[in-house]
Structure 1
Amino acid sequence: MSQIAYSRHDRVGTIVMGRGPANGIDISFVRDFDAAIEAAERDTDCLVVVVRSNLSGFFSGGGDVNRFRENAPQQNTEMIAFLHETLSKLTQSEKIYIAEIDGHALGGGYEIALACDLRFASTGNYRIGLPEVKLGLFPAAGGTQRLASLIGPARALEFMITGTTVTAEEALQLGLVTRLFTEAELTEQTLAYAKQMASAATPAISKIKRSIYDGFCSQLSVGFAMERRHIATLFASEDVATRLTAFIERKKLSSANR
């Protein structure tokens, strides 16, 4: 049974991620997410899609580190390539995709949000960021390209090479999220915005989106290819294997001490 589901009410679709405990990203997650996007794209009555989580505290915690450690480097590289294809469907779509963030959006989880057109977040005690460098990796699911285009190369570079994570309030100031609401208001406000967007001049809106993205999509494809090439080298390195093992052991120790 899929842990990611698509549904629609009126002209607003919703993709709900629900793979406990943290919407960890592995090949099965990507397959389910891809299927949900395909369902949304086939639904001609849907004009706006909200991507959200139904897990407490997490939009998505990013890549499943246990899977990364268990997989052969080639398997990890193939998963990244599949995730590239899947997230590119959001950019290429004429529908508007809105990420509704009300919990940790880290690594590949924030890269999902980056692939959406807009990012609405709630206040709360959680973090947003791309901390992959701490595992000897980097944001290879489109993160280097999309974040640089969103906030500029220099700020994106500093953000990624330090593995910085920030609060939702800081994310708004940095331009990492589009709008910020209280926890109680987030879903209501996101839905209200989506409904308004769906009832607006949608042919013009889709052309605006296409005009913006088509201008740098060719550059994105080149950047994505470089991401895949560089991440393949890192997945095969001893440094990453050591860091992944250390991360898993720290989590086990932390859980045992609770």
Structure 2
Amino acid sequence: MISLEREGAVGQISLHRPPANAYNQQFALELDEAVEGVRADDGVQAVVLTSTLPRFFSAGADVKFFQASTLPQKEKFILHMHEVLRKIELTPKVFIAAINGHCLGGGMEIALACDLRFAAAGAYGLGQPEISLGILPGNGGTQRLPRLVGKGRALDLMITGRTVPPDEALSIGLVDRIFPAEELLAKTREYADALTKRATLAVGLIKLATTRGLELPLDGGLAYEREALFRVFASEDAAEGVNAFLAKRAPVFKGR
């Protein structure tokens, strides 16, 4: 259901559970394994998360699984997905969701846990339609969506179940870039590859300082930023960056 590949310093996690990447316990286990794989691989410095299916990024959690499972099984499943998506957020490597089709419910929540969302142009929807099932977004949607697009817009999407096309998603900040469908994966990988040429220690700490800072009062966020900056000051990359700047040459960063 989930594959992990690496090309250079870019890891690619691909979702593959036809027909719509609706996910169940096994899907969650394999996604967890893939995320742990890129976390543990020092050679991977950026990650693309995408789908192999032509019309769906992910339709979210498998409704048939919810119908057949007990309440304790549902609770265990949701807790596990919370943990997996939190790992994505707290890994000091940039995760980019390459959204190539319908991105709904729990699928949207996977994308929300990523740092950036690049979308294919096309006629498909993104959103949190759980209300149509009489439930609410339970894999982080009620928390991450308002942090991304604001409370009012997030509430509108969640309480109406309305989905938005890619161009509207871009206009409200739900996705960050749109590319022609046939170019989406290549452009996303190109962006990710460019990140791996930068000072990746600093890139990772920028991600963590931003993520953690949004969860803290301002003073706490500033304290986290200082700690990250002091760590970077002591790095080989910082010395290389300063020396290269003064010598008027291109820096060669090593991620340490």
Q: Deviations over 1:146-170 (max 9, x none)?
A: 1111011121111111111011111
Aligned twin of 1:255? none
Match of 2:131 among 129, 133, 136: 133
TM-score by length of 1: 0.82
**How much has 1:216 moved relative to structure 2?**
3.6
| Structure 1 residues 94-113: aligned runs within 5 Å | 94-113=92-111
Size of the aligned set, in residue pairs, is: 217
Gaps of 5+ in 1: 220-258
Matched, 1:205 2:210: no
Q: Secondary structure at the match of 1:149?
A: helix
Paired residue for 2:39?
41
Cα deviation per residue 1:81-128 (whole Å; 9 max; x = unaligned)?
100000000111000000000011000001000000000000112111
Structure having the higher Rg: 2
Take 1:204 and 1:43, find their aligned partners in 2: how far apart are those partners? 18
Query: Which is further off, 7-16 or 183-192?
Result: 183-192
2:157 aligned partner: 159
Deviation of 1:217 (Å): 4.2
Q: Determine the structure 2 residue equivalent to 1:122.
A: 120
The residue type equivalent to 2:128 in the other structure is L
Structure of greater relative contact order (alpha carbons < 8 Å, 6+ residues apart): 1
Alignment RMSD: 1.2
Distance 1:217 1:6, change over 3 A: farther
Counterpart position of 1:74: 72
Query: Letter of the aligned partner of 1:60 in structure 2?
Result: S
Give the match's secondary structure for 1:98.
strand
Partner of 1:145: 143
What stretches of structure 1 move > 2 A for 4+ residues in a row?
216-219
Distance 2:74 2:86 in 1: 18
Q: What is the identity percentage for the equivalent residue pairs of Structure 1 and Structure 2?
A: 44
Inter-partner Cα distance in structure 2 for 1:38 and 1:151 = 28
Letter in 2 for 1:5: S
**Quick one: which amino acid aligns to residue 17 of structure 1?**
L
Q: Distance in 2 between matches of 1:68 and 1:80?
A: 11
Q: Unpaired segments of 5 or more residues in structure 2?
A: 218-256
Where 2:48 maps in the other structure, the secondary structure is strand
Question: Residues of 2 paired with 1:217 and 1:41: CA distance?
Answer: 22
SS at match of 2:30: helix
Among 204, 211, 214, the alignment partner of 2:212 is 214
TM-score by length of 2: 0.83
